[in-house]
Every structure is written in C-alpha cells, then in structure tokens.
Structure 1
C-alpha cells in the first residue's frame, strides 16, 4: 500500500519517526505530538501551554496533509500528572476549544510515568480521515 510522509513546511526533521503518515485510503496517522514547536523547542513548561502546542502541532500536520480539524477522528492523550490535568479542567476546555473548536473525536486519556522527552508533560497522537487524499 502506498503512503506519504507528512512533514509541515519549516519544521525540524523528525529523527527515527514520522510526524504523519497518510495512507492511500486517506487515513492520516499523526505520531505523538508533544509541547515543543516546529523547531523542537519547548516554549512552555506547564501542562496547559504544552497541551496547546501539542494540539496546534496536530492541526499543522493534518493541514499539511490537506485536511482540516473536522477530519480528526481519534485523539489519544498521554499525561504525566493526573492531578494537574484534573485540577485544570476549565483551562483544558478553553484551550481545546481555541485550537479544535467544538469538534470532539473519539478520545482516550492515559496516565504515564514519563515520556521520552524529559521536559514533556503531555503527548497526543491522532488519526484523521481526509477525503480525496491523493497519495
């Protein structure tokens, strides 16, 4: 099956993984995005800031594949601090709506002991289905 690697323009190259893989059937698999920017630099050191950046990264990959936020069908969240996440639900909702609007795909939230990047507090992976994708 043919597929295309998706890398937003201007982003630092992914090393040992792909940020996105678009399959021939239009399914886009977005690798786990953390709270660093396209240059792989953390601008935020708190959960909310990193969450917003991770969601913006997902949107950038979906758009680079020719899709839109509404094409996202699944999000899987990995968080390192359950208490911080639960204590900041209002802010989580505000940021989520600012980035993804009122689009709510299937979601899973998993609490993990840690992430590969020591500074990362959240990692989010996504799946999208992009109609008319030309791979």
Structure 2
C-alpha cells in the first residue's frame, strides 16, 4: 500500500494522508481512504437550505452548493476548514440526476471545498426528512493537534 500526503496530489494540501494501494487505479473526485490524527469534528447531515431553513435552490447542483456551504460554516465554528474533512457521505434522491449533473456538482464542490477530495460515498435514498431536499451530506473532519 502506498501512503502519500494529499498535498502531493492536489494543490492546497491537507494535514492528512491519502491511502492509495499502489496497484489500484487512482480515483477521480474522492480518495479511497484517509489517515488523520487530531480533534474530530462530526457534521450532522446537512441539506440544501440556508441557515434560516429556507430553500433558495430547487435544482440538485444548487442544493449541493448550499449544503457544502452549510458544512463549511459548521466546520468554521470548530476552527476547522474544508481541508480537514476526512470523509463525506452523500445521500441523493436520484442517482441518474446526480450523474447527469456531475459537471455542475463538481464546479459547486470546487468553489466551496476546493481541490480537497476526502474518502466519500454516494447513496441513493427513497426520501429525505425535508420534502424539498434533493441531497443530504454528512461529514467528518479531523483538525490536527
């Protein structure tokens, strides 16, 4: 197994290490695994509404952008930033819409999180608690000691 610093793969860097088996194809837009040490910050599932619980976007890329902005705001409260995220789980209502919107979702991701790609999973679900929500994202971050 090859263990390398993420900063060797993308600009901006991170204090964490990417776990990438040497004989595996390199993933695009996520990491297979990450190693981190420090203070753990757990971000509960966030959806695409504002801090005042109002949906301003009604399309998936717009809700993804707002959801990611919500995650960054919560991380900021803990003295953390997007570069500290080690894992994210995305819950989407429609994986076909997700796949069809990857270019716009990628642009929203890079504008909000940057070129930091933690370990991720995307799961299609039959519903979310809020009827207008199209996506929910849960994140974990580790802030170095």
If the TM-score is normalised by the length of the shorter chain, which range does it land in? 0.7 to 0.9
2:100 to 48, 65, 87: 87
Structure 1 ranges of 4+ moved more than 4 A: none
Larger Rg: 2
Q: Which secondary structure state, in structure 2, belongs to the residue aligned with residue 98 of structure 1?
A: helix
**Alpha-carbon distance, 1:60 to partner:** 0.5
Q: 2:55 aligns with which of 39, 42, 47?
A: 42
Q: What residue number does 1:112 align with?
A: 125
* Equivalent residue, structure 2, for 1:74: 87
* Residue 77 of structure 2, aligned match among 64, 82, 88: 64
* TM superposition shift of 1:40: 0.7
Name the SS for the 2:44 alignment partner.
strand
Equivalence for 1:33: 46
Which residue of structure 2 lines up, in the alignment, with residue 131 of structure 1?
144
- CA drift of 1:131 comes to 2.4
In 2, Cα distance between equivalents of 1:34 and 1:54 = 5
State how many pairs are aligned: 108
Return the TM-score normalized by structure 1: 0.78
State the Cα distance separating 1:99 from its structure 2 match.
Answer: 0.6
How large is the RMSD of aligned CA atoms in angstroms?
Answer: 0.9
| Distance in structure 2 (CA, Å) of the matches to 1:91 and 1:49 | 9
Q: Distance in 2 between matches of 1:82 and 1:45?
A: 16
